[in-house]
Structure 1
Amino acid sequence: MSASAPEIPGLAAPGSLRRLFTPIRGHLALCAILSALSAAAGIVPYIAVAEIARVMLENPAGAASTVWTWVAVGAAGAGLWLLLAVQSARVGHFADASLLHDLRRRIVRHLGSLPLGWFRAAGSGKVKRAMTGDLEEMHEVIAHALGQLTGAVTVIAVGAAYLFAVDARMTLIALAVLALMALFYRIAMRSMTTHMNRLIAAEARISAASIEYADGIQVVKTFGTGGRVLRRFDEAVDEHTRAFADWVAEVQYSSAMSRLFGSEMAVLAAVAATGLAFVADGTLGVADLVAFLVVAVGLPTSILPAVSAAQGVRKGRMGAANIERLLSRAPLPEPSLASTPTGHEVEFDRVTFSYDGVTNAVEDVSAVCPPGSVTALVGPSGAGKTTLASLLPRFYDVTDGAVRVGGVDVRSIPSTELLSSMSLVFQDVALLRDSVAENIRIGRPGASDDEVRAAATAAHIHDVIELLPQGYDTPLDGGGGSLSGGERQRLTIARAILSGAPVVVLDEATAALDPDSEAAVQDALAGLADGKTVIVIAHRLHTIVGADQILVLDGGRLVERGSHDDLLAHGGLYARMWAAQEGVPA
């Protein structure tokens, strides 16, 4: 996208906005032209009123025909202003809708190509801001700020040209007032980007803390933790308050002076005072003073919206930069020559991975998970269990070594094919705002109602669904509606069963459940794992005593492997963890 957008007042600096605006630069140019013509037509009625006053004062006897001519000119200007303003708005909003539609599609498609690990690291905040706040800032620039800035420049140019024709001295005085407004405005805005970044960061912290509080409201009410739980929220609000107060303290005087000199009263006072002095010494006619009182005093009217538009442009640049950063993130590399796995054996071959390129989260881990077997990953918090499992579906790519499925490096398997061969069940349940049946059916779109019911039965959730108000047609929200945590978990297991994927990854699937729910989920997992290559991440060791092999990780390294009985007999880390959890001597 090397082509550049047309030079537009307020958008002259090259950057993200110009690059993103390239597809609609023709529409922007037309919108700018229409806005300029509309603004020029809009000032004509004021000039007509001034000329009518001059004619009536200078030659009242022969003014009739000239007055009606100016009345017609003013009326034509008003009509043309309305017509051109409507067309300019139509073109601007069309360009806005076209670009934002294109950007939303680009963002969604690009998100689909990013490594899934990026979403875990970034969370939903960056995606939400790009799809809503950042695009809204760009909407303001395209649909509103463009016309306001162009209109302000045109009004001042046309108005100043007319006033210079009447009296150059008075014109310079009026423009000097506006120049002072521009000077103080520039002083007030010189550090806007720094303050806006600080405010945005504080708002993000407030949003995150609010969500955290809302999600944990049951814990807060149950345990009465009060201020301690809300401390992060209070600190975020305090930071936002300090950021805003610091900005106000820095710009309060320059901003006040900018508003003062940009007001109609300031221009009126300057024009009236100097104009009356010139009239008194005979160097300015009364009719000419009237022209300045009508036209010059109206110039600030077009400037004030432009001031707001200029701030919108700054926000738009920040939004465009955020969108460009998102779109520039490297997608998950797809193989140039795809390979097809033979079987579904999973192999970790001397796998090493680092999040930051400095510290290895997983280091030199080798293991084979045969088809039809259950492999459990256990270890202390931060041992690398989830990281190792995340390398299998390519949430991240290994730093060194290889992860293979069916003898093929996962990097040589197209991502869609790789993910379709796996059922991933996490502790955090993700449900759609759709019916129960559709929440299960996304495991295999196109599955029949009977197949959906069969999967639900295998997941031990069918009877629960039948008791819902509308059965399988009951709509769910993102939180699962009236379903309990264990029931929501079994719903996702039904989804995985329906997919029929031969490789199953279970990440702490029962960690947050009560004993009764855990037992039901374990029964459902048994149906899911039957005949599959299963990898289980577990904190509760009693849930994996029957695993075919247990891999014990510590500090990112594989320190032990074997069956439950073998590891207990070995007396190492696993035996100590078991003793700690079960309350038995090590």
Structure 2
Amino acid sequence: MIRMLLRVLGDDHARAMRRTVALMTTTAIAEGLSYALLVPVLRALFGSTPADAVPWLGAFGAAVALYAVLRYISDLSGMRVGTTMLRGMYHRLGEHLARLPVGWYDAGRVGEVSVMASRGLLQAMGVAAHLLAPFVSALVTPLTIVAVMLAFHWQLGLAALLAAPVVAAIQVWTARSTAAADADRHERDKEATGRVIEFLQAQPVLRAGGRTGERFTLLDDSLRQVERASRRTVLATLPGAVGLTLTVQAVFTVLLILGAYLALGGDIGAAELLAILVLAARCADPLLSLADIGGKLRSARAELDRLDTVLRTEPLPEPAEPIRPAHHGLDFDSVTFRHGDRTVLDRVSLSVPEGRRLAVVGPSGAGKSTLLQLLARFYDVDSGAVRVGGVDVRRIDTEALMARIAIVFQDVYLFDGTIEDNIRLGRPGATEAEVRAAATAARLDEVIERLPAGWATNVGEGGALLSGGERQRVSIARALLKNAPIVLLDEVTSALDPINEAAVHDGIERLMAGRTVVMVAHRLRTVQRADRIVFLDDGRIVEEGDHDELLRRGGRYADFWNISMTPAE
């Protein structure tokens, strides 16, 4: 556990963690040694001159005071290290996540990381602040007391020492027996969380279907699975907790019987026997707490394992000697890309000269959006090469590559802030006049004029307070402000009403002017003015040419065009 924690922490925090563990160990030893003074205290009190116990009582009081000071310092150190580690781990996790390829973030991964970054990270980093001190004390203090017992009476000390391997075996067995149950509980919790979110998001559909009074079956099933997993976890930990309690009580009983036998034989005095039984009783409390502490540590260990897995995920490699592209033309050279077992792109080759426009069309799942993602290096190709300005994107520094590319996605995400804050993401150092000009070019000024707070209007988390068309205009204004020489457009008008579509088209035309453009579209009206069109199907280019040329051929593109132009009955 400690080794895993130190590896996850990294060199920046490992040293402070080691110091804290050493301080907690010293505190636990001091606690055990302070109990050793009970032997001479009780011996004097039960002897012929009870007054002889006064110096020993003074020494015992001083030892307890020293222990109290050490405990305060070690607990304070644990809290400080825990809070420092939590802040440091948030930074480390954030920096690492920022370096991972964007393609790594699928829907399930985003939910898992969000849980890890909130509850999981708090639980894992809370080990130093809340669990480490009692865990060290539960291990070290009983061992120290047993060493004291061995020093005073080796037979009784040896009898107490025999409990150590039994307790260790119970802890190991409990950890192994609960590992599967803990993992299953985590999966059921994650699934239930997703179902709760789904239930909330599905309210319009459920109410439209007249099912407001019914239970949501998927959520009910998921919660029942959580209940069963919780029951299995409890049943898996129960034998260990009972076994630990029985072991501690059995050892104490053995010490009591053995001590009485030795006392009756005259091998040990009543005072020494009473003192050793008191020491044995002090061993019992921390040992019994191991069951509860062990369960919490196993949960924290599971979170550490998941955190360690994310931190050990390799980001896309950065070039040792980056090359600067000479121009802004784009090339796909026999590109093959696989996602899992599926070949998304199969030996695709195409070129987009600088300042020209390429449109990519085709059925859903053909690999159109993947072309854009490979250009932005959200993924690396399996074979072939994607080049910007004649340079393989793997040889270009990531920041330099992204500085040359403006991307407008179909699903626009806006941060919880003002409209101006979201536009400035394109170029944070832009002047106010440049921000206003970008908004006007995207026809966002029309939206701002009718908002009650104007430029200071808060868009809400994800842009929830704006319509889809309004969010798209913000996205285009952001791209215009960035003023990148390469523009990637991914289905930007597929779900807009006619008014917003016209406004977005105007903004897109301004954005594309004089730039190298690759656009993906289902609405074929938007691709007529492209310099070249490629029709993609099943990861391969089946047709390419300009709009008029492809219509004359009467192939797949012409079929798509005719279907899109046929009015719905």
* Bin of the TM-score, shorter chain as denominator length: 0.7 to 0.9
Please give the root-mean-square deviation of Cα atoms over the aligned residues, in Å: 3.4
1:287 maps to 2:284: no
After superposition, the Cα gap between the structure-2 partners of 1:90 and 1:520, relative to the gap in structure 1 and judged at 3 Å, is: same
Match of residue 186 from structure 2? 200
User: Separation in 2 of the partners of 1:372 and 1:229?
Assistant: 56
User: Separation in 2 of the partners of 1:454 and 1:41?
Assistant: 71
TM-score by length of structure 1 reads 0.85
Q: Which amino acid aligns with 1:186?
A: V
1:485 maps to 2:468: yes
1:390 maps to 2:373: yes
**Structure 1 counterpart SS, 2:125:** helix
1:125 maps to 2:111: yes
1:541 maps to 2:524: yes
CA displacement at 1:275 relative to structure 2 = 5.1
After superposition, the Cα gap between the structure-2 partners of 1:524 and 1:231, relative to the gap in structure 1 and judged at 3 Å, is: farther
CA contact (8 A) 1:351 1:362 kept: yes
**Which residue of 44, 50, 66 corresponds with 1:63?**
50
CA contact (8 A) 1:384 1:554 kept: yes
CA contact (8 A) 1:427 1:509 kept: yes
Match of residue 175 from structure 2? 189
Match of residue 136 from structure 1? 122
After superposition, the Cα gap between the structure-2 partners of 1:158 and 1:394, relative to the gap in structure 1 and judged at 3 Å, is: closer
CA displacement at 1:47 relative to structure 2 = 4.5
1:42 maps to 2:31: yes
Q: Which amino acid aligns with 1:221?
A: R
Match of residue 63 from structure 2? 77
Where do residues 306-455 of structure 1 align in structure 2 (5 Å cutoff)? Answer: 306-356=290-340, 359-455=342-438
User: Separation in 2 of the partners of 1:434 and 1:219?
Assistant: 29
Match of residue 283 from structure 2? 299
After superposition, the Cα gap between the structure-2 partners of 1:301 and 1:286, relative to the gap in structure 1 and judged at 3 Å, is: same
CA displacement at 1:559 relative to structure 2 = 0.9
User: Separation in 1 of the partners of 2:182 and 2:118?
Assistant: 18
Identity over aligned pairs, percent: 35
User: Separation in 1 of the partners of 2:224 and 2:493?
Assistant: 38
**Structure 2 counterpart SS, 1:190:** helix
Give the unaligned 5+ runs of structure 2.
none
**Structure 2 counterpart SS, 1:501:** coil
1:162 maps to 2:148: yes
Where do residues 458-537 of structure 1 align in structure 2 (5 Å cutoff)? Answer: 458-537=441-520
CA contact (8 A) 1:503 1:532 kept: yes
After superposition, the Cα gap between the structure-2 partners of 1:224 and 1:308, relative to the gap in structure 1 and judged at 3 Å, is: same
CA displacement at 1:438 relative to structure 2 = 1.2
**Structure 2 counterpart SS, 1:191:** helix
User: Separation in 2 of the partners of 1:461 and 1:484?
Assistant: 12
User: Separation in 2 of the partners of 1:120 and 1:19?
Assistant: 24
CA displacement at 1:501 relative to structure 2 = 1.4
Q: Which amino acid aligns with 1:67?
A: A
**Structure 2 counterpart SS, 1:349:** strand
Q: Which of 413-422 and 364-373 deviates more?
A: 364-373
CA contact (8 A) 1:506 1:537 kept: yes
Q: Which amino acid aligns with 2:98?
A: G
Q: Which amino acid aligns with 2:136?
A: T
CA contact (8 A) 1:459 1:491 kept: yes
**Structure 1 counterpart SS, 2:462:** coil
Q: Which amino acid aligns with 1:205?
A: E
**Structure 1 counterpart SS, 2:463:** coil
1:573 maps to 2:556: yes
**Structure 2 counterpart SS, 1:331:** coil
**Structure 2 counterpart SS, 1:423:** strand
Q: Which amino acid aligns with 1:32?
A: V
**Structure 2 counterpart SS, 1:403:** strand
CA contact (8 A) 1:44 1:78 kept: no
Q: Which amino acid aligns with 1:248?
A: V
Q: Which amino acid aligns with 2:50?
A: A
User: Separation in 2 of the partners of 1:403 and 1:18?
Assistant: 36
Match of residue 5 from structure 1? none
CA displacement at 1:53 relative to structure 2 = 3.7
After superposition, the Cα gap between the structure-2 partners of 1:342 and 1:27, relative to the gap in structure 1 and judged at 3 Å, is: closer
Match of residue 253 from structure 1? 239
CA contact (8 A) 1:506 1:536 kept: yes
**Which residue of 195, 218, 240 corresponds with 2:204?**
218
CA contact (8 A) 1:50 1:294 kept: no
Match of residue 27 from structure 1? 16
Match of residue 99 from structure 2? 113
CA contact (8 A) 1:436 1:473 kept: yes
After superposition, the Cα gap between the structure-2 partners of 1:316 and 1:522, relative to the gap in structure 1 and judged at 3 Å, is: same
Q: Which amino acid aligns with 2:350?
A: A
CA contact (8 A) 1:436 1:474 kept: yes
CA displacement at 1:442 relative to structure 2 = 1.0
**Structure 1 counterpart SS, 2:351:** strand
What do residues 130-161 of structure 1 show as CA deviations (whole Å, max 9, x unaligned)?
Answer: 54455434423333444333322332123223
CA displacement at 1:549 relative to structure 2 = 3.0
After superposition, the Cα gap between the structure-2 partners of 1:150 and 1:297, relative to the gap in structure 1 and judged at 3 Å, is: same
CA contact (8 A) 1:502 1:533 kept: yes
TM-score by length of structure 2 reads 0.87
**Structure 2 counterpart SS, 1:391:** helix
Give the unaligned 5+ runs of structure 1.
1-9
After superposition, the Cα gap between the structure-2 partners of 1:71 and 1:19, relative to the gap in structure 1 and judged at 3 Å, is: same
After superposition, the Cα gap between the structure-2 partners of 1:18 and 1:501, relative to the gap in structure 1 and judged at 3 Å, is: closer
CA contact (8 A) 1:510 1:518 kept: yes
CA contact (8 A) 2:534 2:543 kept: yes
After superposition, the Cα gap between the structure-2 partners of 1:227 and 1:189, relative to the gap in structure 1 and judged at 3 Å, is: farther
Match of residue 7 from structure 1? none
CA contact (8 A) 1:17 1:321 kept: no
Q: Which amino acid aligns with 1:420?
A: A
Q: Which amino acid aligns with 1:155?
A: T
CA displacement at 1:496 relative to structure 2 = 0.8
Tell me the matched-pair count: 568
CA displacement at 1:199 relative to structure 2 = 2.1
CA displacement at 1:495 relative to structure 2 = 0.7
CA displacement at 1:185 relative to structure 2 = 3.8
Q: Which amino acid aligns with 1:41?
A: A
After superposition, the Cα gap between the structure-2 partners of 1:465 and 1:274, relative to the gap in structure 1 and judged at 3 Å, is: farther
After superposition, the Cα gap between the structure-2 partners of 1:283 and 1:198, relative to the gap in structure 1 and judged at 3 Å, is: same
User: Separation in 2 of the partners of 1:415 and 1:447?
Assistant: 22
What do residues 48-74 of structure 1 show as CA deviations (whole Å, max 9, x unaligned)?
Answer: 455444433332xx212x222122122
User: Separation in 2 of the partners of 1:578 and 1:584?
Assistant: 12
After superposition, the Cα gap between the structure-2 partners of 1:469 and 1:48, relative to the gap in structure 1 and judged at 3 Å, is: farther
Q: Which amino acid aligns with 1:30?
A: R
User: Separation in 2 of the partners of 1:145 and 1:21?
Assistant: 20
CA displacement at 1:414 relative to structure 2 = 2.1
CA contact (8 A) 2:35 2:145 kept: no
User: Separation in 1 of the partners of 2:566 and 2:272?
Assistant: 99
User: Separation in 2 of the partners of 1:126 and 1:447?
Assistant: 36
Q: Which amino acid aligns with 1:353?
A: F
